[in-house]
Structure 1
């Protein structure tokens, strides 16, 4: 698929749509709409209310059934895929059990507080502003799922079959694919970052690689990633190859006794350096190191953000 796809609403098949963000960097996420008969399903909301409101208006202009969304699926817990939930009034909101629990840990209110305090964080604060400064987290009501599931869940939109497949923990603890077999479409959430660097907040990486292989084995032509342009199987393969590359490179350095941040700086990204946000290698190596060591504890998110800020060249004078 071409990387020149314009942001906005794109028809995919008969009654399936993709909403593409401008670019695929921090917070700029995609979403989807599925309609049939008299029913509609939204796949993810966006990072703040203004963005979500704009998306919903464009969907309603193009598709009358979008005026009342019956079902909303949150593919995972990151705020850029669920902070706009409050604007989808009356919908049943479905997520995996693991995602619903994870959503409580970094609410819109917490993000608003972090952004308000970012000026006190020095280089880290500047990196926060770089990543999230274009979004407004003030006054966003925390709107969690109303229904959860584990494993798989079969749903219908009109006469269309929609299958939810939990593939996490991977990117986050409860990642879900939304497969519409009749339309040959799959919405992947952040299992796929296209032309943007994947970030392993949770792992294990083997689960993420299996999730990519599952998509590769699907009978589907149109693949909507969580970030970046609509893709096909070639895009999925590239993400899988990146994950395997980082795993293998991190393992070499772990076995040599190199520290995680030192290893992140040492790994030559080669072809992957052209993807946006390459500094996410710091989080990916940290997650892999914890996996290699058999550790269940998670590194503090602010520490991880500081490591990425360092790799991205942010310092007190930047």
Structure 2
């Protein structure tokens, strides 16, 4: 038997939600390290980035939006394909669900497997999972590189600034307010999940975000960041974690160690610096496994299935 409960199956504690305004048109729905949702309230419509994991959970986001505006929720943006980010989409009844073409391709390739995997790992994040409609959540509109939406006179840019958390990562950028919704490319006081990541690309992608000079940022997890100092701290902490995992795993691979040995050494090396971050013990087996893959023979992430999850956990934590 594994000494640790699988992934986050033992995590049952409800989190306190905060709904706060970050700039003139941007709001952040955050929940103590649970997945965040970003909201843009334009002149004539609302955009929601990352939907929560189920329609029942999305209903709480909608309730808070309705406390500040009655404008229609016209757009849902999927910053990437993970189930915990997309399965609540139907609740918003948006006119368009927008994602990068790369994200669409990943849903085609691995959406069903990923959904089963994620629900098994972290049941609390899929509250009332029976409210999710059958099948996948499909974008109605895709783009490559850059897409601009106008919510009245408000310019909203959807940008692919590089691979990192996934191949399809998209950020939502308000150039007039220097406000960014980063999805899981940036985390704050929360461990980046990197099971589908590109470790060698991610730091450069963070540099590309830095070059925009955001003054407010909604990370994928953790509190919203306001002002240059907080934003830079979030970017730097995420960058250093990704680099530290890569450096340790690469050293182990170069020394001819197997995955189990590399995992134990990397975990021990990172625990003092990052062990207090939310979901550290949850993420590390997935992160190191993906990093080991990338450092050895798999340039692109392999599909996680519920079965592969359990095998990996038994190998590393058994």
- TM (norm. structure 1) is 0.83
* CA distance in structure 1 between the partners assigned to 2:165 and 2:65 by the alignment: 28
Q: Which runs of 5+ in 2 are unaligned?
A: 1-14, 226-230
> Is 2:83–2:118's contact at 8 Å kept on the other side of the alignment?
no
RMSD: 2.5
> Is 2:246–2:291's contact at 8 Å kept on the other side of the alignment?
yes
Compute the displacement of 1:144 (Å): 0.9
- 2:76 is paired with a residue of what secondary structure? strand
Distance 1:177 1:29, change over 3 A: same
> Is 2:253–2:296's contact at 8 Å kept on the other side of the alignment?
no
> Is 2:100–2:169's contact at 8 Å kept on the other side of the alignment?
yes
Q: Within 5 A, what are the aligned runs for 1:20-169?
A: 20-21=30-31, 23-24=32-33, 28-65=34-71, 68-104=72-108, 105-107=110-112, 111=116, 128=121, 131-133=122-124, 135=126, 136-141=128-133, 142-169=136-163
1:278 matched to 2:284? The reply is no
> Is 1:99–1:175's contact at 8 Å kept on the other side of the alignment?
yes
Name 1:203's counterpart in structure 2: 197
Distance 1:160 1:199, change over 3 A: same
Structure 1 outlier segments of 4+, above 4 Å: 107-110, 308-311
Distance 1:34 1:108, change over 3 A: farther
Name 2:291's counterpart in structure 1: 288
- Would you say how many aligned residue pairs link Structure 1 and Structure 2? 289
Compute the displacement of 1:190 (Å): 0.7
Name which of 209, 212, 221 aligns with 2:206: 212
- 1:154 is paired with a residue of what secondary structure? strand
- 1:196 is paired with a residue of what secondary structure? coil
Compute the displacement of 1:114 (Å): 8.4
* CA distance in structure 2 between the partners assigned to 1:191 and 1:114 by the alignment: 18
1:170 matched to 2:200? The reply is no
- 1:191 is paired with a residue of what secondary structure? coil
